[in-house]
Structure 1
Amino acid sequence: MRDPALPTATEPAPQGGVAVQLRGVTKRYRSGAAALGPLDLAVGRGEFVSLLGPSGCGKSTALRLIAGLAQPSGGTVELAAHPAARRGEHAIGFVFQEPTLMPWSSVRGNVALPLQLAHAGRAEIAARVDDALARVGLRDAAEALPRQLSGGMKMRVSLARALVTDPDILLMDEPFAALDEITRFRLNDDLLTLWRELRKTVVFVTHSVFEAVYLSQRVIVMTPKPGRIAAEFRVSAEEPRGAAFRSSAAYAARCREVSDALARATEPA
């Protein structure tokens, strides 16, 4: 059941209007099998929202629909226009489960790729890449090749590449799932620091209750296929979050509530 203190998923979220709006969105495979929905979800500008659910529930599909990498079978996906966009384009950054780096190119070259594809000028590319690398702590690794990097560093490169175009919306599909716990905790903290500084709208997919509650302002619990919203939880915590919040009674209690909701959502009918 939904947390009664929360607005419904279709209500406009705070912080300056809605950045992402899904209305009655469904997705079916060519076989006819339903993968998602109907799904109604509103994400506010600057909000950090996590989608939490079992494998195959449509979390990644929802991200792909938001990004325009796939089209819904029904319903609508609406995005707020990027202020600096031309021809009504939307600025979206996407961090996938795997870093998908070009092995022959340096860290700098991998981060520069979106700007090169957009035919940005050389000076602009250099300045933006330097800024993105500095933000993710990779200034000193700019000339390294992917094979010289740890898993955590590769994911930082992927994050820098997503940020280099200065997107309004950052979509993240289980980016830290394959990392060890210490590295994952560190990247969680670094991601929150970036979010506080840049105030991007973030939609984050994860299987981890603990990660979802630690990172998010709002956690959306989804049902098994076809993915629908089973419950929502708002996470209220003083900023900046850190070790004190992770070890607090409030964090533990919220994790239990979200975990219980996830268990209920995945119970056989």
Structure 2
Amino acid sequence: MAEPALSETDSDAAGFAVRLRAVSKTYDNGVTALGPLDLDVAKGDFVSLLGPSGCGKSTALRLIAGLGAPSAGTVNVSHRATKMDGRHPIGFVFQEPTLMPWASVRDNVRLPLKLAHAAPAEADRRIEEALAQVGLAEFADAYPRELSGGMKMRVSLARALVTDPDILLLDEPFAALDEITRFRLNNDLLALWRKLHKTVIFVTHSVFESVYLSQRVIVLTARPGRIRAEFRIATAEPRGEEFRTSADYAGYCREVSKALTPSYSGQRSA
């Protein structure tokens, strides 16, 4: 079985953060979830993976993160070489916040630094910085039961950012939130991307979210997921609420929806 490679050479040479070549994933039950898939993500890009349930979007993220190995093909991930205490090249935000209910916000964000044996003073500094970045500095001593759904997801985002990753992977993080909260977090995520210059790969089922957030939208087929279409969302930056109500936004949404329709019509039952 091919192993994912965390490489600084192949991808760096071409300016790519992530390169997937002929990647596929077949699980032990015989289900082929993904591929073959070829995907390049340039450093600093914001890319969304869009497709029906079961098409392998989350599987692709897990392979990029090194949380599993592809059945075939190669996964190359470029990152900075560093000896910084507690640093990790990849941050992952899952569909659920997965917070420890007995721990404060501060201690939930501390977890990856604790696992990496980061120095306490450095960890404290980075926790404060991460909470400030997501607008939760004043809630450091709160517990998950005291937080709204949107605030819990902000904690999860802070926990991913606290290791100062080069690449941020987000697996439908806002799907369970109400529309107002989701719009607000979309705007906050875009602001963080502009400020921190991370490479972002974002999984979503929402055409509207993918077009609003992304520089590129990758539409996948039904399982096994392959690239059906790709769209570059060429708009003026920074984007704001005016883009969400613009004719350009509506046009992109129509085109992406049109490309997505065959994926849903061909979707197989799980």
- Indicate whether the TM-score tops 0.5: yes
SS of residue paired to 1:266: helix
Residue 88 of structure 2 contacts residue 164 of structure 2 at CA under 8 Å; is this kept in 1? no
User: 1:128-143 residue pairs with structure 2 within 5 A?
Assistant: 128-143=126-141
Separation of aligned partners in 2, 1:118 and 1:267: 45
Shift in Å, 1:85: 5.2
Separation of aligned partners in 2, 1:72 and 1:235: 29
Residue 26 of structure 1 contacts residue 75 of structure 1 at CA under 8 Å; is this kept in 2? yes
Residue 172 of structure 1 contacts residue 205 of structure 1 at CA under 8 Å; is this kept in 2? yes
SS of residue paired to 2:23: strand
Q: Report whether the alignment pairs 1:237 with 2:238.
A: no
Correspondent of 1:155 among 142, 153, 156:
153
Shift in Å, 1:236: 1.0
Separation of aligned partners in 1, 2:190 and 2:157: 13
Separation of aligned partners in 2, 1:265 and 1:100: 30
5+ residue gaps, structure 2, are 1-9
Residue 103 of structure 1 contacts residue 145 of structure 1 at CA under 8 Å; is this kept in 2? yes
Q: Report whether the alignment pairs 1:168 with 2:166.
A: yes
Shift in Å, 1:267: 3.1
Paired letter, 2:92: F
Q: Report whether the alignment pairs 1:123 with 2:124.
A: no
Paired letter, 2:192: L
5+ residue gaps, structure 1, are 1-11
Separation of aligned partners in 2, 1:85 and 1:210: 40
SS of residue paired to 2:129: helix
TM value normalised by structure 1: 0.92
Separation of aligned partners in 1, 2:60 and 2:83: 23
Correspondent of 1:82 among 73, 80, 83:
80
Moved runs in structure 1, 4+ residues, more than 6 A? none
Residue 210 of structure 2 contacts residue 217 of structure 2 at CA under 8 Å; is this kept in 1? yes
Residue 169 of structure 2 contacts residue 202 of structure 2 at CA under 8 Å; is this kept in 1? yes
Q: 1:85 to 1:23 in 2, by over 3 A?
A: farther
Aligned residue number for residue 112 of structure 1: 110
SS of residue paired to 1:64: helix
Q: 1:13 to 1:83 in 2, by over 3 A?
A: closer
Correspondent of 1:202 among 190, 193, 200:
200
Q: 1:90 to 1:17 in 2, by over 3 A?
A: farther
Separation of aligned partners in 2, 1:40 and 1:50: 15
Residue 13 of structure 1 contacts residue 43 of structure 1 at CA under 8 Å; is this kept in 2? no
- What do you get for the CA RMSD once the two structures are aligned? 1.8
